[in-house]
């Protein structure tokens, strides 16, 4: 399996295809284990880890799109419109570059999202202070 850098460069369709293959392999490995014919038991852990990595990349992409779409300056722009989002990790900027576009493919907004920013640690801190903004910069097309 590829490392996380290579996984982040794959498209969602390619990741979904890999995920389906890994799930099928996991099913076959579990079946072999139940039948007692599994020789390489370490492969179970490896496949489980690869599935987790693929799910993490898909989840972080969706999370980055949601963060930009829910930003106070971008959310009103998306109301009453059909839109789609795409996210790609940029290693130079150390964040997710997110592009939101309408059904015609016209760009509505784009931005840089840092999902590694920590939230406030205690409940009292979270109540008294505004939530951490994960959107570093954004640009509204128009």
Q: pLDDT tens digits for 67-81?
A: 999 888 888 888 888
Q: pLDDT tens digits for 26-42?
A: 999 999 999 999 999 99
DSSP secondary structure string, 8-47? Answer: HTS-HHHHHHHHHHHHHHHHHHHHHHHHT----THHHHHH
Number of domains in the chain: 2
How many residues belong to the chain?
Answer: 142
Q: pLDDT tens digits for 91-130?
A: 999 999 999 998 888 899 999 999 887 766 777 776 777 7
Contact predicate 75/69, CB 8 Å: yes
Q: Average pLDDT for residues 8-15, to the nearest whole number?
A: 93
State residue 97's pLDDT score. Answer: 95
Confidence band of 135 (pLDDT split at 50, 70, 90)? confident
Residue 78 structure tokens: 């998306």
Pick from 65, 88, 67: which is nearest to 132 by CA? 67
Using the 3D structure, point to which of 15, 47, 63 is the last residue of a domain: 63
Same domain, 131 and 70: yes
Strand partners, 48: none
CATH number at 24 reads 1.10.287.310
Q: Which residue has the higher pLDDT, 84 or 123?
A: 84
Same domain, 42 and 74: no
Taking each helix axis from N to C end, the angle separating 42-69 and 12-35, rounded to the nearest 10 degrees, works out to 150
Residue 123 structure tokens: 């409940």
Using the 3D structure, point to which of 63, 86, 107 is the last residue of a domain: 63
Same domain, 70 and 123: yes
| Mean pLDDT (the chain, rounded) | 89
Same domain, 21 and 44: yes
CA pair distance 94, 2, nearest whole angstrom: 20
Same domain, 56 and 88: no
Same domain, 16 and 73: no
Q: The domain containing residue 70 runs over which residues? A: 65-140
State residue 142's pLDDT score. Answer: 60
């Amino acid at each position: 399996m590829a490392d996380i850098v290579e996984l982040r460069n794959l498209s969602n369709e390619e990741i979904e295809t890999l995920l389906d293959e890994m799930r099928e392999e996991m099913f076959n490995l579990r079946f072999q284990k139940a039948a007692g014919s599994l020789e390489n038991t370490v492969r179970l852990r490896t496949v489980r880890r690869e599935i987790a990595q693929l799910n993490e990349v898909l989840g972080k992409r969706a999370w980055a799109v949601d963060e930009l779409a829910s930003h106070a300056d971008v959310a009103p722009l998306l109301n009453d419109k059909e839109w789609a989002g795409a996210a790609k990790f940029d290693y130079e900027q150390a964040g997710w570059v997110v592009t939101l576009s309408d059904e015609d493919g016209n760009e509505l907004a784009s931005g840089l999202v840092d999902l590694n920013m920590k939230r406030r640690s205690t409940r009292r801190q979270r109540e008294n202070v505004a939530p951490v903004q994960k959107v570093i910069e954004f640009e509204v097309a128009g």
